[in-house]
Amino acid sequence: MLLRAFASPEVRFGEAIDGAQASAVAGALGLVERIGARVPPSTLAADLGREAARELALSRLQVMAKVGGLCDLVPELATAASNASISIVFLKFAALHAGGYVAEGSRAAGDIDVLVRERDVERAVDILAGHGFIAAGTTYAEHHLPPFLDRQGRVVELHTRLPGLREPGSRRFAGFEALERGGGLEPSSGLCDGCYRLRPGLLAAHAIAHGLAHHGGADAYPVSRALADVIDVLPRDRRTIGLESAQWIAEDVPAFELEAVVSLCNALEQGDLDGLVGRSEPRTECALLHHVLASSLDPDYRRSLAIGYVFDWLSDEPRWWRLLKTAQRIALPTRQQLAARLGLANARSVDLRLRWAHTAGLVRRLPELARAARHLMRRQRSR
């Protein structure tokens, strides 16, 4: 499935493939839509059997139906922002789509991410409200507002800063002004004036920081999708010499991890994975390949990532402040934070009974949290 997602579709396999299992793996890795867009149906049918190939095709159609509404939303937001004289930066999927980097239906997405100047946040919220969007009010984050939803199920996130990206020489995460000052923006062609996207090198760097340091394997942005974004944005000749925007993510993505990303992207595109599987050296593209697979396929590994994120969430605040806020979020979450954690639609639903249940669950998980903390400390010492 990795070869079908990244290597030449002309590659043929000399041994029989379990079509049902391969289809399930493609789904777990978040690669169904990419495979369906790249590989002819006849090839997939020969690889997997007609039934498994049909299931992949249906899954891709479902992705295309959802993503189609988000694609239509991009020019709508661009026009609305331009009419209000607000400059915006499209991020992630919206930037890839607007920049023509991805084929239609080749990439899943759950929302449209937009960066605005902090002074324009209230006006941007008013624009969304005027177009029928309402705030979900449950998700907590330092760098973006709660998501906004409309009646069609489309979601927009307004960002004020980008975790993992720092203007060289700055400690704070980059906002609109820092990106503009550092030459990190380019006009989004085909859209209204005042609409931008990150330059290709910075777009790829953001994908790496977002995939490795911010989410680290979460279903919202699996590492396999981050690698796909890097491959789509940067041709191999620019990738081989390194990302020109590497200094923007150097604080959160060590040089050896960045080298591993570039090497693994090259190996995936070449279809040369046999040399990686047998390698055991740490801090290489082999270790990253293991992370890509385990973060999607190994339940225990996925659980350790989720717990580790509690202790090691990406922030530009001082470490002591992060530790205090982590303790507060774990032991004494606000109503909004607890509602988000429990998947409740409204913070008003949080009552004393739910708080007691949260406390009891926390006590039961203390040994698991302690193991995750020790694992995190060992990993940071190895860096």
Q: What is the 3-state secondary structure (H, E, C) of 21-36?
A: HHHHHHHHHCCHHHHH
The helix/strand count (H/E) of the chain reads as 18, 7
Exposed e or buried b per residue across 263-282, where buried means at least 16 C-beta atoms within 10 angstroms of its C-beta: bbbebbbeeebeebeeeeee
**At which of 280, 301, 316 does a domain end?**
316
> How distant is the alpha carbon of residue 31 from its chain centre?
14
CA dihedral 276, 281, 284, 289 (to 10 degrees): 50
Question: Do 341 and 298 fall within a single domain?
Answer: no
DSSP-derived secondary structure for 59-124: HHHHHHHHHHHHHHHHHHHHHHHHHTT--EEEEHHHHHHHTT-S-TTSS--S-EEEEE-GGGHHHH
Same domain flag for 146 and 220: yes
How many structural domains compose the chain? 2
CB of 177 within 8 A of CB of 169?
no
Nearest C-alpha neighbor of 261 from the set 235, 282, 292, 237: 292
Token readout for 2 is 């990795």
Helix (H) or strand (E) holding 296: helix 285-297
What count of other Cβ atoms lies within 10 Å of the Cβ of residue 363?
9
Three-class DSSP category at 377: helix
pTM of structure? 0.82
Q: Residue 144 belongs to what domain range?
A: 2-316
Q: Which of 249, 232, 270, 278 is nearest to 93 (CA)?
A: 232
Q: CA-CA distance, 194 to 81, in Å (whole number)?
A: 8
Q: Which of 263, 281, 316 is the last residue of a domain?
A: 316
Per-residue confidence (pLDDT) for residue 60, from 0 to 100: 85
326 shares its domain with 338: yes
User: What pLDDT score does 336 carry?
Assistant: 65
Model pLDDT, residue 117:
95
Please indicate, yes or no, whether residues 185 and 237 belong to a single structural domain of this protein. Answer: yes
pLDDT at 15: 80
AA identity, residue 306: A
- Same domain for 225 and 94: yes
Is 301 in the same domain as 331? Answer: no
Question: What pLDDT shows up at residue 249?
Answer: 93
Question: Is the same domain home to 184 and 105?
Answer: yes
pLDDT 10s digit of each residue in the chain, 383 long? Answer: 999 999 998 888 878 889 999 999 999 999 999 999 999 999 999 999 999 899 888 888 888 888 999 999 999 999 999 999 999 999 999 999 999 999 888 999 989 999 999 999 999 999 999 999 988 765 556 677 888 999 998 999 999 999 889 999 898 999 999 999 999 999 998 899 999 999 999 999 999 998 887 666 667 788 999 999 999 999 988 887 777 789 999 988 888 889 889 999 999 998 888 777 655 554 578 888 988 999 889 988 887 776 656 555 677 766 656 666 666 666 667 666 666 666 665 666 677 777 777 777 777 777 766 666 666 556 555 55
Could you tell me if 322 and 292 lie in one domain?
no
Q: Does residue 186 share a domain with residue 43? A: yes
Q: Tell the burial category of 100 from Cβ atoms under 10 Å away from its Cβ (0-12, 13-18, 19+).
A: exposed
The pLDDT value recorded for residue 213 is 74
Residues 149 and 189 in one domain: yes
**Of residues 3, 56, 53, 7, the one with CA closest to residue 27:** 56
Q: Which of residues 316, 335, 362 is at a domain's end?
A: 316
Question: Are residues 231 and 340 located together in one domain of the fold?
Answer: no
Residues 118 and 179 placed together within one structural domain of the fold: yes
Question: In whole angstroms, what is the distance from residue 205 CA to residue 202 CA?
Answer: 5
327 in Cβ contact with 234 (< 8 Å):
no
Which tokens sit at 355?
Answer: 């708080």
